[in-house]
Chains A and B, each alone.
Chain A
Amino acid sequence: MNLERAFKVLTQFLQGKEKAIELCILCLLAKGHLLIEDLPGIGKTTLALSLAKVLGLSFGRIQGTSDLLPSDITGTSIYNRSTGKFEFHKGPIFNHIVLIDEINRTPPKTQSALLEPMEEGQVTVDGQTYPLPEPFFVIATQNPIEYYGTYPLPEAQLDRFLLKISIGYPPREVEKEILKIGSLKEEIISLESILSEEEILNMQREVKNQIYVSEKILDYLLDLIEKTRKSAYLLAGLSTRGALSLLLAAKARAYFYKRDFVIPEDLKEIAPYSLPHRLIFKEEYKSLSKEIVREIIESTKVPI
C-alpha cells in the first residue's frame, strides 16, 4: 500500500519522529488540521515540507508575525497595469499543505481570518469567494512559552485543530545521527512523491464512510465524555463537536493500522492529542492538563 510506503520514506528522513509523522498523517486522513506546540528548531518545517513532497501535494508557508495581515494569508488584489484592473493574487493559503509558523504571534484578526479556510475550505476576499484546493491541510505551530506580545489562540480557534501535538527532542542516538549527517533540506526537496491528490482524497472518503464503529466503542466514548464533564479539574468538559472529531481521528487511526473497525486503543491513543486543547481547565490545574487527560483515560473501563 502506498500510504505505508510513504510513511516508511518519511520515517527514514525524519528519524525518531515516527509518532509525530503518524499523527500528522492521521490528521490529514481525517480531514483535520494540526497544531504543533514546540520549541523552534525541532523540525516542524522539515516535517511539513517532507510530508508535502512525499504526498505529492503543494506546500505553502506563512510566518506568523505581529503585523501579519489577513491578506498576507489569503492573498490580495493587485493592480494590473496592462489591463488597468485589480487582479486577485492567491496567497500562500492556496496550497494543499500550509504551514503557519508561530501562529500565536499573529494578531487575533489574522488568526480569525484562518477560520474560514480551515472550516469551509474556501476564502472570501473583497466579496469574491475562492475555493481552496483539496486536500487542504493546515499545520500550525506555536511556542509553548508565552512570550511578551503573543496572542494565545482563543478556544474557538483551538477547536478547529483536530490534534495538538508536540514533537519533542529526538532520542540521543537519533540526534547524534542527525548531527553527523547534517540537514537534509536538499534531499527533501528532491524527494519524489509517492501518493497523488486523487489517492489521498479517496483515503479521506474511506476513513469517513467505511470504518465501522461498534456500539461498545460509542459507549466508551460517551463514558470518556461524561468523565471530562464530571471531572473536578475541569471547568467545561468535552463538547459534542470535540467528541465527533475524536471519533473521526480514531477512525483515521483504525484505517492507518489497516483495520476497518475502531478499537478502544484508537480512542485511547488519540485522546491525549485531541482532548487537552479542547477542554477548559480550572486555573490551578492548567499546567497539569496532560496528566489530567491521561488520568481520565486510564480510569475509564475499556469495553470488551
Chain B
Amino acid sequence: MQLKITKIGFLYIFLTILLGISAINTGNNLLFVLVSFLLSFMLLSGWFAKLNLRWLQISFSFPEECYAQLPTLIKITLINHKKIIPSFLVKLEFQIKGSKDSSSYSTTFFLLEKNSEKILSILPLERGYNYLERVVIFSNFPFNFFVLKKYLKIKEKFLVFPKPMNCTDFSEEFIHPYRSEKPYLSGEGSGEFKEIKDYLPAVPKKYISWKHTARFEETIKIKSFSQEVINPVLINFEQFKVQDLEKKISCITYLILENLKKGIPTGLKINGKFFSPQVSHLHKFNMLKELALYERN
C-alpha cells in the first residue's frame, strides 16, 4: 500500500489547520464542530479508501492464439469479494514484458459491485513467452484527496507466436513437396472428368450420363471424376535462406498459416525436430510454438 496526497488533499489539510486555529482562538464551538468533522472525515475517507481496494481479486485471461506486433484482446476480471459494499473507480495498471521491451497498459473499473470484466486490446511486442508484471491497482476514491496504490504479486506468462510476414519472393524455393505413402485427397469426385463407368447403386442421379446411357441402351452409364490430389508441403527451417533470423521466422510463420488456411498439409523441420505435414489445429500450434521459442530459452 502506498499513499500519495494530491494537491486538493494538501489544501484540505491546510483548511483543517486554519479552521482549527481559528476555532481554538475564538472558542466558537461550531467551528470546533466543523474542525472535528473535517478531522474525522479525513480519517474515515482513508479507511474507506483502504476498504475500497480490499477484498478484490483480479484475474487475467490471455488469448490462445496471438501474434507479435498484432493487436490482441485480453480479458481482465475483477471480482469484489466484499459482501455489500461496492468498489468505486478502481484503476488498474500493468506491464506486458517480452524478452527486451515492455509496454504498460491501464484501465478503469468505474463501479464494481460483484464482478466486472474488461476486454482490453494489447499489442504483444515480441515472440516467445511474454510476462505480465507490475500489476498495480489504485484509486483516488473517495475524494481525490489522495491516491492509494496497491502492488499486486501477480506474475503470469503467455505465449506469443511470431509475427507473420509475407515474403512471396523466396517461398517457392524452400518449400519441398513432401511424399508420403498416402496421398492427401481433397474429397471424392470433384476433380476433372476421367471416364465413363457402369452404373452403381446409390450414385446420385446427377452423375448419370444420359447421353451414354442412350447410346449403350442396356446399361445405365455414369460419369466418373478424378480425385484432386493435394501435395503436402515440408518447410525446412535451416535451409530457408534468409539472413535475418527474425525475418526468417516471420516468413515461415506466414507460410504455415497461409498453407493451413488453404488446407494444404504443412510440416516443419527445425532444430532437429520434425513435424510431419498435417492440417490439424494442434499441429499448427506445435509448430508455431517451436518457432516462437526458437533461440529464446
- Chain A interface residues (CB < 8 Å from chain B): 39, 65-67, 69, 71-72, 76-79, 89, 144-145, 147-149, 284-285, 287-288
Contact = CB atoms under 8 A, between A and B. Distances in A.
Interface residues on B, range: 20 to 34
A295 B104 CA distance: 29
Contact of A89 (B189, B202, B260): B202
Nearest to A81: B218
A286 to B, nearest CB: 11
B261 A71 contact: no
Nearest to A92: B202
Given A72-B204, A78-B201, A149 B188 contact: no
B280 A145 contact: yes
Contacts of B73: 284
Given A72-B202, A149-B263, A67 B187 contact: yes
Contact of A288 (B75, B188, B220): B75
B281 A79 contact: no
Contacts of B279: 147-148
A195 B228 CA distance: 45
Interface in B278-297: 279-281
Nearest to A105: B187
Contacts of A145: 280-281
B262 A148 contact: yes
Interface string B95-134: 0000000000000000000000001000000000000000
B6 interface: no
A106 B119 CA distance: 35
Nearest to A71: B204
Q: Which 7 pairs from chain A and chain B are nearest by CB?
A: A148-B263, A145-B281, A69-B204, A66-B187, A71-B204, A65-B187, A148-B262
If over half of B's interface residues share one DSSP class (helix, strand or loop), that class is named, otherwise mixed; here it is: loop
Nearest to A292: B117
B75 A67 contact: no
B262 A89 contact: no
A76 B187 contact: no
A79 B219 CA distance: 10
A110 B207 CA distance: 16
B144 interface: no
Contacts of A66: 186-187, 190
Contacts of B204: 69, 71-72, 76
Contacts, number: 43
B229 to A, nearest CB: 15
A101 B74 CA distance: 35
Contacts of A144: 281
A71 B206 CA distance: 10
A67 B186 contact: no
B215 interface: no
Interface in B73-108: 73, 75
Contact of A148 (B188, B206, B261, B280): B261
Contact of B220 (A72, A79, A148, A287): A79
A147 B260 CA distance: 8
B205 interface: yes
A72 B207 CA distance: 12
B190 A67 contact: yes
26 contacts: A65-B188, A66-B187, A66-B190, A67-B187, A67-B188, A67-B189, A67-B190, A69-B206, A71-B204, A71-B205, A72-B202, A72-B204, A77-B205, A78-B201, A89-B201, A89-B202, A144-B281, A145-B280, A145-B281, A147-B279, A148-B260, A148-B262, A149-B186, A284-B73, A284-B119, A288-B75
Contacts of A69: 204, 206
Contacts of A79: 220
B118 to A, nearest CB: 11
A78 B262 CA distance: 38
A254 to B, nearest CB: 31
Contacts of B119: 284-285
Contacts of A287: 63-64
Contacts of B206: 69
A66 B202 CA distance: 17
Contacts of B280: 39, 145
Interface in B208-225: 220
A288 B73 CA distance: 12
A287 B61 CA distance: 12
B187 to A, nearest CB: 5
Contacts of A89: 201-202
B215 to A, nearest CB: 16
A232 to B, nearest CB: 9
Given A147-B263, A284-B119, 20 more contacts: A65-B188, A66-B186, A66-B187, A66-B190, A67-B189, A67-B190, A69-B206, A71-B205, A76-B204, A77-B205, A78-B201, A79-B220, A144-B281, A145-B281, A147-B279, A149-B186, A149-B187, A149-B263, A285-B119, A287-B63
A71 B187 CA distance: 18
